[in-house]
Amino acid sequence: MARRAAGRFIGWFRPLRGAGQASLQLQLYAAIRAGVLDGRLPPGERLPSSRALGEDLGLSRNTVLGAYDRLVAEGYLAARAASGVYVAEDVPADLGRAGPGQAGPASFSQRGRRLIAAAPELAGHELQAARPFMVGLPALDEFPLATWRRLTNRRLRRSDLALFGSGDAQGLPALRQALAGYLTEARGLNCLADQILVVSGAQQALDLVGRVLLDPGDRVVVEDPGYAGAREALAAVGARIEALPVDAQGLDPEDIARLPGPPKLVAVTPSHQFPLGGTMPLARRLGLLALARDTGCLIVEDDYDCEYRYGTPPLPALQGLDGGERVIYVGTFSKVLFPGLRLGYLVLPPHLVAGFVRAKATADGHAPSLPQAVLADFIAEGHLAQHVRRMRKLYRERQQALLAALQRHCGRWLQSGALRVGPAEAGLHLVAEFTDGRDDRALAAAAAAQGLMVAPLSRYGQRRQLSGLLLGYAAFTPAQIEQAVQTLAKLLK
């Protein structure tokens, strides 16, 4: 009897041996558990003895006993004295099997479906090696790791146990204080530490803006082409997206004024428009602020790549021109330091702070305290300002290397006007725009097969039909850039 019962397992359990496999005991446990859940082992059925099952499967008796003991402890099996081991009687016979008409797992909410549909470019990214021309990637090998390690070790040696407990949802006070000083001096912001909310990167900042401020159907103005992460985060809450075209000077506030009704929110990248690279001049900045005051809308200022401006000092932020009531300022350390840090911040009008802090607490409690403390020291001791100055010089050199390589290897397309590159005043990437109707997504796929990672410009457009490639250069040496442009030129042919 036991021998026949043991034989039933042979057809659906094959123990796997070798490196990387789970232990044989765990494999057997999982197989029997699955059999109970899917009904192959019904309630009350007697299992073979540990000796008989071990012999048939080529397992030791202790391996089988260990699996049985765990299943008994978890309630899947029941051991009866002097009788054997049985499937527990109180396990439902249809457990794990969906019958006719059953709905199965709960369906997504309307907001969930919008979120899934809106964010195809943001999901599924894995840790990967840098490949030319990845956009938004800083020179990680130039980061002052020794300084960061020293500051981290110093914080750990202090044995400040408060950093290992629950933190402030608004952010570590020392970091907010250091940030307020840095942003006032470097970006011309008008802010206090109490207006700053520390978040897990710019994307969480934009997500909070959408969830806290917008209702389904609210009109939101975004740039076209523009940053997909902002558009997707705001669309996910049901906002009505109005994508307005940008020119070399960014978004024109007069285009907003011509809309049939005032927007609830305007999302802009005035310092370095993403992806085209233009800079919004003072007249448009003042016009946008005037429109916000007249209509009551809010402005979300994503200060993208603001630190890296070549030849002229960075322009003061919109927030510094505002009276402190209409502009929400978004910043991140992903490109200034390193993406894995996952720290960003919002500078909020005072009347919005309390609500956003509560929303942040609901979302994920607080940002990690130890990295915040290290970053506070990094800023307060001048390391951030020093790093930015050094990187500005390095990135300018790498940008020039990219421009020179494009002239050498893509000169015929540049001279004919089929390829336009620029502007080059700021940022960590250049836009190579095609004027000959070329399929930029097909070209990006072909480049990926050659080891390059170029983003097609058409990905960032809504109504505008643009074609081109975004060429990130910050993370790559002149030699790497030269070789990558040669490969790209071959594909262009």
**pLDDT tens track for 423-455:** 778 889 999 999 988 899 999 999 999 999 999
pLDDT surpassing 50 at residue 296: yes
Q: Mean pLDDT over all residues of the chain?
A: 88
Q: How far apart are CA 243 and CA 462, in angstroms?
A: 6
The reported pLDDT for the residue numbered 253 is 95
- Residue bearing tokens 């990006």: 444
Q: How far apart are CA 179 and CA 192, in angstroms?
A: 9
More confident call, 469 vs 83: 469
pLDDT surpassing 90 at residue 108: no
Predicted TM-score (pTM) of this structure: 0.82
- Residue bearing tokens 């059953």: 102
Sign of the four-CA dihedral 76, 81, 85, 89? negative
Cβ(373)–Cβ(155) under 8 Å?
A: yes
Residue % of the chain over a pLDDT of 90: 61
pLDDT surpassing 80 at residue 277: yes
Q: Does a cis peptide bond (omega within 30 degrees of 0) precede residue 138?
A: no
Cβ(226)–Cβ(251) under 8 Å?
A: no
The reported pLDDT for the residue numbered 462 is 86
Single-letter amino acid, residue 459: R
Residue in 262, 257, 153, 264 with CA at minimum distance from that of residue 215: 264
Q: Which of 95-104, 116-125, 355-364, 406-415 is predicted with the least confidence, judged by mean pLDDT?
A: 95-104
